[in-house]
């Protein structure tokens, strides 16, 4: 039978039949105690009916053999790293990295005897020169936060296969709708499901997808660390995923239109969005992604007050986190990247005037109007 397409998989894959009442949605099984005569079902073993059902949906969307669902993106990330790294091993992270992942590396890996390096996110050559005899894992994030850099996933996959290295990617910013790294040769795909998969800014969760063999390794560490998601939230996340495709499709479309609008606005210096034809990453993104995502960043002109702009937005909310149905903005300089030394922020291009925009599913004309009026006010008052 032909595999259903992503829109259909979002709605139907992994759904649990309701044998008692034939309800149209999965029943929720909240038990933490099941008969030992029927195997060893237990939420911390990732094997309850709702966990297994949702894993099937995520695996189908990511084209993986199996998946595990975690209580947060960081639980998924830390468990996956510890599953493939032990004392004496070395891991290469790309330099543009989610803050929590960078902290996990810099604050905890030494205690496990694990060495790490950072490689320039946009240079395959830099990754190659950083590979050592004990390098076991290469860890990526594409598109990256907040400058939306794209890394050549096929290139990294080839480099790693030649050196028997496991490749992992944090696919949060793309979502499975826009990018399936496993099809490009990457081994392990991780999501902060708190973002696009959840999509309504009300669920904290994570996922890991890979081959049966790799997931077995993640499972062995995961059941000891105990980072599973509770079944109630698993059930809510299944409901969220039913609309993943329609949400992300709309967010892609809105973001593309807003990126072009901002690029032509006199108050904006620079727009970071791989879907812009003049972006350095356009060709690569076009090649390895299905669409360009609903995330973008832009830098407002120096003689305009960012604070006045933020204050005057009516529709678009200043908020940390991202990828909800509502549009939100965030200033990485003050939030996600505040711990980076100032020189490093400047070097990476993260200025005080850089705004990250998580584009929602609202009417794009309303969003543009909100930006225009707030920019106009900040121009007048600056
Ligand atoms: C939010 C986020 C994480 C961490 O996920 P949590 O669910 O907050 O633990 C990891 N990577 C990226 C890219 C994120 O945006």
Instruction: Name all domains of the chain by residue range, CATH numbers in brackets.
Output: 6-241 (3.40.640.10), 244-381 (3.90.1150.10)
Which region, left, alpha or beta, applies to residue 291 given φ > 0 means left and ψ of -120 to 50 means alpha?
A: beta
Q: Taking the complete model, does pTM exceed 0.95, yes or no?
A: yes
Which pLDDT belongs to residue 382? Answer: 63
What pLDDT shows up at residue 343?
Answer: 86
pLDDT at 380: 79
Tell me what pLDDT residue 178 has.
98
Atom of ligand 1 nearest to the CA of 205: 7
pLDDT per 10-residue tile (average), the chain, 382 residues: 90 96 97 91 97 98 98 98 98 94 96 97 95 98 96 97 95 98 98 98 98 98 98 98 98 98 96 97 98 97 92 96 96 87 85 96 98 92 69
Closest CA to 324 of 213, 253, 265, 250: 250
Report residue 91: phi and psi, to 5°: -130, 140
Q: Is 72 in the pocket of ligand 1 (CB under 6 A)?
A: yes
Query: Which one, of 72, 56, 75, lies nearest residue 64 by Cα?
Result: 56
DSSP string, 298-322: EEE-TTS-HHHHHHH-SSSEE-SS-
**Can you tell me the distance from the alpha carbon of 203 to that of 197, in angstroms, rounded to the nearest whole number?**
9
Mutate to test the pocket of ligand 1, among 96, 169, 192, 200 (most ligand atoms within 8 A of CB): 192
């Amino acid at each position: 039978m032909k595999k259903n397409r992503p829109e259909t998989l979002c709605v139907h894959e992994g759904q649990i039949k309701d044998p008692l009442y034939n309800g149209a949605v999965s029943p929720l099984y909240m038990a933490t105690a099941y008969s030992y005569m029927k195997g060893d079902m237990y939420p911390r073993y990732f094997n309850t009916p709702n966990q297994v059902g949702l894993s099937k949906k995520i695996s189908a969307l990511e084209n993986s053999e199996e998946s595990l669902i975690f209580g947060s993106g960081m639980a998924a990330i830390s468990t996956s790293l510890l599953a493939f790294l032990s004392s004496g091993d070395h891991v290469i992270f790309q330099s543009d990295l989610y803050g929590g992942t960078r902290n996990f590396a810099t604050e905890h890996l030494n205690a496990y005897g694990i060495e790490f390096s950072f490689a320039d996110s946009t240079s395959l050559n830099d990754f190659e020169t950083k590979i050592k005899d004990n390098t076991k894992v290469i860890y990526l994030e594409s598109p990256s936060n907040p400058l939306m850099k794209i890394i050549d996933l096929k290139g990294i996959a080839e480099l790693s296969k030649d050196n028997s290295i496991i490749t992992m990617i944090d696919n949060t910013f793309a979502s499975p709708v826009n990018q399936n790294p496993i099809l490009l040769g990457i081994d392990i795909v991780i999501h902060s499901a708190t973002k696009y998969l959840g999509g309504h800014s009300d669920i904290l969760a994570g996922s890991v997808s890979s081959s049966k063999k790799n997931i077995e390794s993640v499972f062995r560490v995961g059941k000891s660390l105990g980072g599973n998601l509770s079944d109630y939230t698993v059930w809510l996340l299944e409901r969220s995923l039913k609309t993943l495709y329609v949400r992300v499709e709309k967010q892609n479309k809105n973001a593309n239109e807003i990126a072009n609008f901002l690029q032509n606005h006199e108050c904006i210096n620079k727009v970071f969005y791989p879907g812009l034809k003049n972006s350095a990453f356009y060709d690569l993104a076009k090649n390895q992604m299905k669409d360009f995502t609903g995330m973008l960043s832009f830098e407002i002109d120096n003689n305009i007050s960012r604070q006045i702009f933020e204050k005057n937005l009516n529709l678009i909310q200043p908020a940390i986190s991202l990828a909800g149905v509502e549009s939100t903005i965030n200033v990485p300089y003050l939030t996600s990247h505040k711990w980076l030394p100032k020189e490093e922020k400047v070097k990476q291009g993260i200025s005080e005037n850089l705004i990250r925009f998580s584009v929602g599913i609202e009417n794009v004309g309303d969003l543009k109007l909100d930006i225009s009026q707030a920019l106009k006010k900040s121009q007048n008052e600056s």
